[in-house]
């Protein structure tokens, strides 16, 4: 078997078709362009795939993912078909060019959903502490379902440093505004990545799950307990049990003033804030999207 020549067929073989599908990654309609070549061998036993391989080796026939035209780099050779003709040594090879977008150039796709969790109610909508008529917190505290926004992004990436993501981003909160949400309101809850191959490109399809709520993800809790400082808080070993009017230790947590002393009757309850989540700028992940 020997390859003789390869020549493009012009009139009657070319086809141009615009699909009703639209590619949002490049803001263009899907298209198909078919170009054909006549492959000639010197034996009747020549096969289409053999002639295609020889023609491509000789540089006479495009290969898969080759550009149609440098000025339209997203139109690339996608699928190849060969067919016999009435002459056994002649075959026709047809490349179908399609709008091929580099997977790494595709924007992130975002999905939104809602979740909820049961939380203790420490204060009402007017920011008054939830206390009984005697000024004590309820035990157990009342609860309510608290909604939060679930934002899931799917983004193709060339490479993934999974160890860095787990250590430096997972279960962190945003240190800068992220997707229009203020500092501290966005929490990276989950991450996954899968190896993929498409259009001649090896990449990772990554998925990111963020939780968002108006209340930050740091801990805010009512200052109360069973012991207090009798004076200036200097030594831990001088704390005393808080006792009631009958001199017996209180049976439920008593309110404290934020410095370890017992809150004076009628005083404004104090809430303590604890940083339990590290902060990081999620914008550095390069997820983007619309």
pLDDT tens, residue by residue, 240-286 = 889 888 889 988 888 899 988 888 887 888 889 898 899 999 999 99
How far is the C-alpha of 120 from the C-alpha of 215, rounded, in Å?
A: 13
**Dihedral sign from CA coordinates of 130, 136, 137, 139:** negative
pLDDT of residue 130: 77
Give the whole-angstrom CA distance, residue 283 versus residue 167: 16
Residue 145 has a CB neighbour count (10 Å cut-off) of 9
- Bridge partners (DSSP) of residue 51 are none
Cα separation of 160 and 162, whole Å? Answer: 6
Over pLDDT 70: what percentage of the chain?
A: 96
Which of these ranges, 29-38, 169-178, 197-206, 244-253, has the smallest mean pLDDT? 244-253
> Regarding predicted confidence, which is higher, 102 or 172?
172
- pLDDT score, position 283: 95
Asked if the model's pLDDT at residue 233 lies above 70, the reply is: no
173 or 261, greater pLDDT: 173
Q: In the prediction, which pLDDT does 290 show?
A: 66
Q: Which tens digit of pLDDT belongs to each residue from 62-102?
A: 999 999 988 888 899 999 999 999 998 999 999 999 998 88
Cα angle 138, 216, 125 (rounded to 5 degrees) comes to 45
β pairing state of 173-174 and 90-99: unpaired
Residue 122 has pLDDT above 80, yes or no: no
pLDDT computed for residue 236 by the predictor: 59
Query: What distance in Å separates the CA atoms of residue 169 and residue 282, rounded to the nearest whole number?
Result: 8
For residue 175, is pLDDT > 80?
yes
Share of the chain above pLDDT 90, in %: 51
- Determine the pLDDT at residue 221: 85
pLDDT at site 156: 95
For the segment 35-64, the average pLDDT, to the nearest whole number, is 92
CB neighbour list of residue 155: distance below 8 Å, 6 or more residues apart:
107, 108, 109, 205, 206, 208, 287, 288, 289
To the nearest 10°, the Cα dihedral for 191, 193, 199, 202?
Answer: 130
Domain ranges (residues) in the chain: 3-101, 105-216
Q: What is the pLDDT of residues 181-216, one digit of tens each?
A: 999 999 999 999 999 999 889 999 999 999 999 888
**Res. 133 pLDDT band, cuts 50 70 90:** confident
More confident residue, 290 or 161: 161
Strand partners, 206: 155, 193
267: left (phi over 0), alpha (psi -120 to 50) or beta: beta
The single-letter DSSP state of residue 92 is: E
- Strand 143-157 to strand 109-120: parallel, antiparallel, or no bridges (unpaired)? antiparallel
pLDDT band at 237 (very low <50, low <70, confident <90, very high): low
From the list 25, 19, 21, 36, the residue with the least C-alpha distance to 77 is 36
Question: Widest CA span of the chain, in angstroms?
Answer: 113
β-pairing verdict for 173-174 and 279-280: parallel
Q: Is the pLDDT of residue 1 over 60?
A: no
Distances in Å between the Cα of 127 and the Cα atoms of 111, 123, 148, 269, 270 are: 33, 5, 20, 10, 11
């Amino acid at each position: 078997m020997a390859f003789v020549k390869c020549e493009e067929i012009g009139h009657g073989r070319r086809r141009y078709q615009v699909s009703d599908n639209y590619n949002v990654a490049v803001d263009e309609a899907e298209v198909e362009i078919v170009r054909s070549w006549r492959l000639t061998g010197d034996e009747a036993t020549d096969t289409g795939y053999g002639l295609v391989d020889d023609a491509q080796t000789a540089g006479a026939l495009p290969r898969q993912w080759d550009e149609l035209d440098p000025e339209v780099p997203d139109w690339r050779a996608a699928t190849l078909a060969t067919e016999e003709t009435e002459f056994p040594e002649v075959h026709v090879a047809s490349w179908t060019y399609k709008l091929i977008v580099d997977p790494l150039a595709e924007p992130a796709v975002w999905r939104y959903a809602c979740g909820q969790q049961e939380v203790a109610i420490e204060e009402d909508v007017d920011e008054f502490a939830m206390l009984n008529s005697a000024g004590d917190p309820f035990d157990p505290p009342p609860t309510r379902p608290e909604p939060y926004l679930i934002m899931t992004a799917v983004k193709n990436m060339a490479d993934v440093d999974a160890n860095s993501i787990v250590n430096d981003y997972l279960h962190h909160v945003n240190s800068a505004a992220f997707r229009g949400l203020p500092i501290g309101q966005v929490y990276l809850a989950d991450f996954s990545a899968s190896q993929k191959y498409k259009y001649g490109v090896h990449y990772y399809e990554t998925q990111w799950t963020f939780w968002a709520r108006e209340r930050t993800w740091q801990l805010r809790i009512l200052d109360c307990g069973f012991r207090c400082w009798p004076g200036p808080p200097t030594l831990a070993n001088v704390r005393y049990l808080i006792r009631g009017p009958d001199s017996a230790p209180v049976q439920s947590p008593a309110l404290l003033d934020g410095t370890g002393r017992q809150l004076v009757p009628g005083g404004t309850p104090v809430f303590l804030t604890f940083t339990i989540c590290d902060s990081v700028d999620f914008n550095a992940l390069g997820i983007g999207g619309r």
